[in-house]
Each structure stands twice: as C-alpha cells, then as structure tokens.
Structure 1
Amino acid sequence: MTSGSLTQPSHRILTPIKNTKPHQQRSRSGLIRIGLLLIMAGLAILTGYLAYSWRSYYEVQVFSTPTGWGYDILSNGEPFIHQPTIPGVPGVVGFTSSEQAQRVGERVVEKLQEDKAMPTLTHDELRQLGVSIP
C-alpha cells in the first residue's frame, strides 16, 4: 500500500451544514400562535355560552279565575309573577279573555327583558293592549 492511498483528497466537496435552530424557532413560534388562537377561540365560545345561559328565559301561561283570566310569568320554568287580576285596577277584576291576559303578560315579559326589575303597566298601556278597564 502506498501512503498516498490512505490520505484524504485535498479537494473536499463542501456540503452546507443546515442550521436547525431558525427552523426550530419558526416551528415553536407557529405552535405558540396556534395555541394562543385556540385559547382565544375557546374563551370566546365560553363567554358566549355563559352569556346565553345566564340570560333568564321567561314564559307566559294564562289561567282561568273565578273573575275571568289571569297570567303567570315563569322564569326558567319557575313561578316568578302570579297575576290573577288586571294590574292597577282596584278590586278583584280578571281579564275578560285569555288573549287579553296573554298580551299583557307578554308586555310584562318585554319590560322584564329591558331590565326593569318589577315592571308596571299604566292604564294607557293596558288600553293599548285591548284591555277594557272598568
């Protein structure tokens, strides 16, 4: 064997060495961005759900009374307002029809949804809803 065959050639082909750190940094920052977007989307969904679930759901139910008709307003299925008579009218006077009681109950629900703690109805409002006041 000759000593020349054991030596490496002096004209090496240089292959570029890839720097993996910038690539890793890009991957990491991309993952962080995706993670933050997922967290933000999750918080948005949670906020929407909580806002919807905290909103009170009102329902009007009419019923017959000895003097006519009345209405109940349920909040999330639980009794909230029991109104067996025409509000604001002295004495024990019920609504003359279930339709009148329904319309007035729905108007009270509208006022509740406008954040009025205990809504009231004037005689003019009752007349506009078709209620005949004795």
Structure 2
Amino acid sequence: MPIDTEHAGQPSVVRRILFIALAVLALLTVYQVYKSRSGYQLQVIRTSTGWGYDVLNQGRLILHQPTIPGAAGDRGFANEIQARQVGERVISKLKEGKGLPTITPDELRDMNISIP
C-alpha cells in the first residue's frame, strides 16, 4: 500500500475543524465564567446595636446597613446569620438590576428575621 508523502505530517481537515471547535468552546467557557463572576462582596459587621452588613462592588463600599432595613428605630440584626441572609438578598437584587435593592417587612418575615 503506497504512503501518501504529499500529506504526511499535516493535520487532516477534520482534526483542524475539531481543534477550532474546541478552541471556540474553551473561549466561550472562559467568557461565561468571567461574566458570571460578580463584583459584589458582602461583609457582615458587628455594631453597637447588633449586627449589620456592608455591600461592596469591586472593593468599593456601596451600601452600609448597620440596622434592620425598613424597621423602625436603629436596631441591628439579632445575629450574624440574619445579617448575612438579608445582605445576600440585597446582592441578589443588585445583580438583577431592577432598581434599588429595597427589603420590605414582608420579605424580612419570609426570611424569619425578627423585627423588634
């Protein structure tokens, strides 16, 4: 059986197409991972009245919430877990981009946040 010396050592057309397809898939995967990364960060903070949270975007403080939002007075959250839960809800709303990330008393009740 004769050996085709003219095309020896050259990748076949199918291999080239597969390589290009894999490269495109890799680039799309990297783009999706980069796109899904959020610049928002949550920091739970201890305050003189309980717990609160800060929301940062790209390392910059954009929201300082030392008290329970929407609750009368200046009471903080009863514990770190509650502050984190509400802070995460706020970040979720920020990611949706639907205006201000307000938290209603009904939402607080739905999250079992005790409102003094």
Q: Among 1, 20, 25, which residue is 1:39 paired with? A: 20
Length, aligned pairs only:
111
Output one character per residue of 1:54-89: Cα deviation in whole Å (capped at 9) or x when no partner: 223344321111222101234455544322221223
The structure with the largest alpha-carbon Rg is 1
In the TM superposition, 1:88-127 aligns within 5 A as 88-113=70-95, 115-117=96-98, 118-127=100-109
Matches within 5 A, 1:1-134: 31-57=12-38, 58-75=40-57, 78-113=60-95, 115-117=96-98, 118-134=100-116
Q: Which has the higher contact order (CA 8 A, sep 6+)?
A: 2
State the TM-score, normalized to the length of structure 2: 0.71
CA distance in 2, matches of 1:69, 1:62: 7
Q: Whole-Å Cα distance in 1 between the matches of residues 114 and 28 of structure 2? A: 45
Task: Identify the residue that residue 13 of structure 1 maps to in structure 2.
Answer: none
Q: For 1:69, give the aligned amino acid.
A: W
Q: Secondary structure at the match of 2:12?
A: helix
Give, as a single letter, the amino acid of the residue that structure 1 aligns with 2:25.
A
Distance 1:52 1:45, change over 3 A: same
Matched residues, percent identical? 40
Unaligned stretches of 5+ in structure 2?
Answer: none
When the two structures are superposed, what TM-score results if normalisation uses the length of structure 1? 0.63
RMSD after superposition: 2.8
Unaligned ranges ≥5, structure 1: 1-17
